């Protein structure tokens, strides 16, 4: 009975570790809900290395729903996603969505807003 309990606890703790293995956004510039001068680039730092082919940033100007093209690059040991907008950002509110897949194949998608003053 005791061996079965120990085995069950090991399996349960493995499941928790796997669930926690998704890449987490540690910091971003511009940050969520921030008001900033027009940024020349968007920089996002993650807890895990990313697969460049599966890392993207979508940027939409909220007032007009116009999509802003963003060229992305993964650097910093694979943990930094940088996006350079194709055009200077004009004052207004923006909605940013990022999609990343970590090197251990966990995929996440999230979004946030920021404002250019």
DSSP-derived secondary structure for 94-105: EEEEEEEEBTT-
State both tokens at 21.
């293995």
What is residue 9's three-state secondary structure? helix
Domains and CATH numbers, the chain: 23-116 (2.60.40.1220)
Below-50 pLDDT ranges, the chain: 5-19
Query: What does the pLDDT read at residue 94?
Result: 98
Q: DSSP secondary-structure letter at 113? A: E
CB atoms near residue 28 (< 10 Å)? 18
CA 73-98-103 angle, to 5 degrees, is: 60
Spatial separation of the C-alpha atoms in residues 94 and 5, rounded to whole Å:
51
The alpha carbon of 97 is separated from its chain's Cα centroid by a whole number of angstroms, namely 8
Query: What does the pLDDT read at residue 1?
Result: 60
The alpha carbon of 45 is separated from its chain's Cα centroid by a whole number of angstroms, namely 8
Q: What pTM was computed for the model?
A: 0.82
């Amino acid at each position: 009975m005791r061996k079965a309990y120990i085995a069950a606890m090991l399996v349960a703790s493995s499941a928790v570790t796997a669930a926690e293995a998704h890449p987490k956004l540690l910091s971003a510039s511009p940050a969520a809900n921030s008001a900033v001068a027009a940024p020349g680039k968007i920089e996002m730092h993650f807890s895990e290395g990313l697969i460049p082919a599966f890392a993207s940033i979508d940027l939409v100007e909220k007032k007009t729903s116009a999509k802003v093209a963003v060229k992305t690059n993964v650097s910093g040991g694979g943990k930094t996603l940088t996006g350079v907008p194709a055009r200077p950002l004009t004052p207004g509110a923006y909605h940013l969505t990022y999609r990343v897949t970590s090197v251990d194949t966990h995929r996440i998608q999230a979004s946030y807003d920021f404002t250019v003053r």
